[in-house]
Structure 1
Amino acid sequence: MIHIANKTYELVTDHKNGWNFEVFRDRFSEVLERYDYIVGDWGYSQLRLRGFFKENHPKATKDSSIAAFQDYMNEYCNFGCAYFIIEKVNAKQPAPAETSGVSVP
């Protein structure tokens, strides 16, 4: 579990060891708190963060839904880059004991 800004997140995908808490903590912005998922991708030794909503979220658009994750990676990220996905843990629902990752089409 990851605790930052009074929110709890769970690491659901860590591709090529992209997860680094210290760098994430330094780059985190309160703007990201509204999203259900935060994706961090590495390019030129810099971490970039982007928020995504769950598909059924009322504010989700075609580009801001987690279903658009692969399109985002293909269009805006370096090919084969390290990345991670963390998911906000809803206080009303217990976190699953095991998570294999975010399923993206």
Structure 2
Amino acid sequence: MIESEHGMFDMIKNYRDAFVLDDFNQLYVDYFNKYMYIVGDYVAGKLRLKGFNEQNFNTIPDYIVESCAPNCAYYILKNNEPKEEKGSE
């Protein structure tokens, strides 16, 4: 269980000890609240975050292979309190 400034998350995977709480807190924005899963990966020393929902959770391995540097450090978090995006009224 990870407690961050942005809520509680379960660590699904932490490949090569990628997770750094300070980096996550600095980069995370409210936009990611709607996602059930957050993938964080490091490219050239910079953290990138990408959100996934339950429907596309199974595409995370493809994202890691196709969009991340080979053998890069990455992690997968499960958001314990995803918030649905408010629709336009």
What TM-score do the two structures reach when normalised by structure 1? 0.71
Amino acid paired to 2:58: A
1:34 matched to 2:34? The reply is: yes
1:73 matched to 2:50? The reply is: no
- Superposed CA offset, 1:59-83 (max 9, x none): xxxxxx1111111111111000000
Alignment of 1:21-60 (within 5 A): 21-55=21-55
Tell me the distance in 1 between the aligned counterparts of 2:78 and 2:36. 6
Match of 1:98 in 2: none
Match of 1:87 in 2: 78
Q: RMSD of the alignment, in Å?
A: 1.5
Shift of 1:2: 2.4
Tell me the distance in 2 between the aligned counterparts of 1:85 and 1:27. 15
Between Structure 1 and Structure 2, the one with more strand by share is 2
Determine what percentage of the aligned residue pairs are the same residue.
Answer: 28
Between Structure 1 and Structure 2, the one with more helix by share is 2
- Larger relative contact order (Cα-Cα within 8 Å, sequence gap ≥ 6): 2
Gaps of 5+ in 1: 56-64, 91-105
What TM-score do the two structures reach when normalised by structure 2? 0.83
